[in-house]
Amino acid sequence: MNTLINLPNLILQNRGLILSTEIQTLNRRLERKQAISLIHRLSDSFPEPGEKDHSRKVSIFSIQFYELLGRNPGEIKNASLLHDLGKVYVDQRLLYKPSSLTNEEFAVIQEHPNYARKILEYCIARYGSHELLTSAQRIAEFHHERFDGTGYPNKLGGTEIPEEARIVSILDVFDALISERPYRKAIPAEKVYEIMSKGDGRTKPEHFDPNFLKIFLKNYLKFTELLN
Ligand SMILES: [Fe+2]
Ligand SMILES: [Fe+2]
């Protein structure tokens, strides 16, 4: 599919086009390998190696999680790669700011799930649909929702949040805590376990689906081993 070759450039150069242009829906179905190719091209559009690395790790954790559930991880492995796709629209200076964000700056970052939804809607309309893309869209749009309804962008709660987004949300927070950030060092694994199981000022266990959190915590060592 030659039309996919310049997709990352298209995204980065035509943000007005993607966010505002009406696109004629093709009602086409993509083949699975075309959908996977599109997902990988989109995930290559992250300009920063840090974001690519984060997406790759969340994808690896997702495979482990689905294996623990006894499910085939083929879908989540690819779909979770795009959970932060919307960050391609966020000013990189904000994403990698070495100090705390102002409320206004945080509000800009909080738009990334909406940006991802728009990018994926655009891609589906332009190139055709596939369950991998609609799953990627659900994850990207809802991975910052919280089980207790305090997340964003829509303050959904409980099972209103799509299941795969409830799973990725745990793995996303795990990787964010255990990895070095521009404004702090990596948090040791034992401390991350404590934060996710008991909470701290920012992260609370109530943010997560209790059944999935239980599975994650019970198998915590398996996830930390994947970091090596
Ligand atoms: Fe995110
Ligand atoms: Fe993330």
| DSSP calls for 82-150 | GTTGGGGGS-HHHHT-SSPPPHHHHHHHTTHHHHHHHHHHHHHHHH-B-HHHHHHHHHHHHTT--TTS-
Return the ligand number nearest the Cα of 53. 2
Find the largest Cα–Cα distance for the chain.
51
DSSP string, 160-220: GS-HHHHHHHHHHHHHHHHS-BTTBPPPPHHHHHHHHHH--SS--GGGS-HHHHHHHHHTH
CA of 96 to the centre of ligand 1 (A): 14
CA of 141 to the centre of ligand 1 (A): 9
Mean of pLDDT values over 71-96: 93
Identify the residue with better confidence: 2 or 82. Answer: 82
Distance of CA 162 to the CA centre of its chain: 13
Q: Which residues are catalytic?
A: 87
Residue 142 has pLDDT above 50, yes or no: yes
For residue 152, give every residue at least 6 positions away whose Cβ sits within 8 Å of its Cβ, in sequence order, or none: 110, 113, 144, 145
Superfamily of domain 2-225: Hypothetical protein af1432 (1.10.3210.10)
Residues with CB under 5 A from ligand 1 (ion): 84
pLDDT, residue 100, reads 86
Under the banding of pLDDT at 50, 70 and 90, the label for residue 224 is very high
Q: How much is the pTM? A: 0.90
CA of 52 to the centre of ligand 2 (A): 10
pLDDT, residue 162, reads 98
pLDDT, residue 15, reads 52
CA of 54 to the centre of ligand 2 (A): 7
Return the ligand number nearest the Cα of 80. 2
The predicted-structure confidence for 147-199, as pLDDT tens digits, reads as follows 999 999 999 999 999 999 999 999 999 999 999 988 889 999 999 999 999 99
pLDDT, residue 3, reads 44
Residue 26 has pLDDT above 80, yes or no: no
Return the ligand number nearest the Cα of 56. 2
CA of 148 to the centre of ligand 1 (A): 18
pLDDT, residue 29, reads 87
- Amino acid identity of residue 214, one-letter, is K
